[in-house]
Structure 1
Amino acid sequence: MSSRSLVIFDLDGTLIDSRLDLALSINLVRSSLGLPELPEPVVTGYLGDGIRNLVKRCFQDVECNLDDVVKKYSDAYREHLLDNTTLYPNVKSTLDELATAYNLCVVTNKPEPAAIKILKGLDIFDDFDAVIGGGRCQHLKPHPEPILKAIQETNSKQEGSWIVGDHRTDLKAAENTGLKSVFCKFGFGIMDTCIPDYSIESFEELTKILLNK
């Protein structure tokens, strides 16, 4: 890997549409505890801040041991994370184009083993110079730590690097590290009060922004 600038991608809602499998796994655990299922949009609205926050929000209607439920959810998701999850259109071809000019990395708050399994299952793991998932660093996005870890691990330049994501955590992480940001409007996250440098309606629009095509 040369000392080039880096494009850092979020995973869920940016590279992949994982909503159905995330909701399925949450509801399998809820059913096992005798709880009614949550609609997929409700589960989706709780995403973006790591597994413990997701579980805490999805089980706020019952008293439970958070660690136990996190483990049950992790086990369920491990079994179902590729049941319905797909790449967004034109992800693979766009990554190939971007790789001609940038190093590429995934930084996600999803636990790293699950992220790697998905990337391998969808045949894009080898497109990235590194994958930084939840559990690798002490802090999750929007803290600068996983972003700076990605820059270091890929031997990239911080100058001219980008963060691409669909959630406020991605945009805030860009602010916290001085990187430019692209917000994926096709994803399922929210901007809140953050203001991205660019917004895109489809993944392939990245080539216009990052490669001036």
Structure 2
Amino acid sequence: MEKEKIILFDLDGTLIDSEEAIYESCCVACEKNALKIPALEEVQETIGHTLSDMFLHFGASREKLGICIEVYRHHYKGICLEKTKMLPKATDSILLANEFAYLGVVTTKTARFSRAILEHLGILGYFQTIVGIEDVEFPKPHQEPVLKAIARMGASLSNAFMIGDTILDIQSAISAGISPIGVKTGYGNIQAMQAICENIFDDSLEAVGFIKSV
């Protein structure tokens, strides 16, 4: 049966919890590049942003960005499967969404890491496309990642939704002309999201239930 809706999901803070892996990898990269080790709360505030923005925030020079990211990704590759888990109700949200919508992922992780994580968690097969940082010139909050996902799926912008936990997800959806849906399971500023997004839910399952009803 043909499905009428498209749902794009963010990953970190929306479907998965990889905070431990992100924090550990960030600390290793900072230590090896003589940067101050950030507190967990500081790293949480950067989740969803690009690694370039994260390390600039922690004091890296532009000349050292490349090596910081290289060290981060090398360490993350070795621990991300072990130290990533599904958020509560996230698996149920995917199963429900799959009943009535085609699904995709739009993330600032690399698509390579994202596929490996989703395969490890047993849910990769539910997604028609995964757009990662290496697939775009301009990441979220730009519209490009969302539009690329929609184009890859051969879909139109009508009846398309983006679920995410930060204002970057909301802004990307709005810029692309699809419906933004916020969730409170991640790292975003809820008040900032509420200022530009009417529909914000406690978790991805509630969000998918709302999409099914409209």
TM-score, L = length of structure 2: 0.90
Q: Confirm whether residue 140 of structure 1 aligns to residue 135 of structure 2.
A: no
Q: What one-letter code is carried by the residue in structure 2 that aligns with 1:26?
A: C
Q: Provide the rounded CA distance (Å) in 2 between the counterparts of 1:5 and 1:156.
A: 9
1:199 maps to 200
Deviations, residues 163-205 of structure 1 (Å, cap 9, x unaligned): 1001111110111022111111121123536421311112221
Cα distance, 1:206 vs. partner?
2.2
Cα distance, 1:37 vs. partner?
2.8
Q: Provide the rounded CA distance (Å) in 1 between the counterparts of 2:63 and 2:152.
A: 38
Q: What one-letter code is carried by the residue in structure 2 that aligns with 1:85?
A: T
1:177 maps to 176
2:15/2:90 contact within 8 Å kept: yes
2:3/2:100 contact within 8 Å kept: no
Q: Confirm whether residue 156 of structure 1 aligns to residue 155 of structure 2.
A: yes
2:75 maps to 76
CA RMSD of aligned residues (A): 2.1
Q: Provide the rounded CA distance (Å) in 1 between the counterparts of 2:208 and 2:138.
A: 31
1:32 maps to 32
1:20/1:40 contact within 8 Å kept: no
Cα distance, 1:49 vs. partner?
2.1
Q: What one-letter code is carried by the residue in structure 2 that aligns with 1:45?
A: E
1:184/1:202 contact within 8 Å kept: yes
Cα distance, 1:2 vs. partner?
4.8
Q: Which has the higher helix share?
A: 2
- Relative distance call for 1:207 and 1:145 in structure 2 (3 A) is closer
Q: How does 1:115-134 map to 2 (within 5 A)?
A: 115-134=114-133
Deviations, residues 78-120 of structure 1 (Å, cap 9, x unaligned): 1121232211112222211111211100000111111111111
Q: Secondary structure at the match of 1:189?
A: coil
2:28/2:71 contact within 8 Å kept: no
1:2/1:156 contact within 8 Å kept: no
Once the two structures are overlaid, the 10-residue window that deviates more, 3-12 or 99-108, is 3-12
1:19 maps to 19
Q: Secondary structure at the match of 2:159?
A: strand
Cα distance, 1:69 vs. partner?
1.3
Across the two proteins, how many residue pairs are aligned to each other?
A: 212
2:163/2:204 contact within 8 Å kept: no
Structure 1, unpaired ranges of 5+: none
Q: Secondary structure at the match of 2:107?
A: strand
Structure 2, unpaired ranges of 5+: none
- Relative distance call for 1:179 and 1:197 in structure 2 (3 A) is farther
How high is the sequence identity, in percent, across the aligned residues? 24
Q: Provide the rounded CA distance (Å) in 2 between the counterparts of 1:11 and 1:152.
A: 20
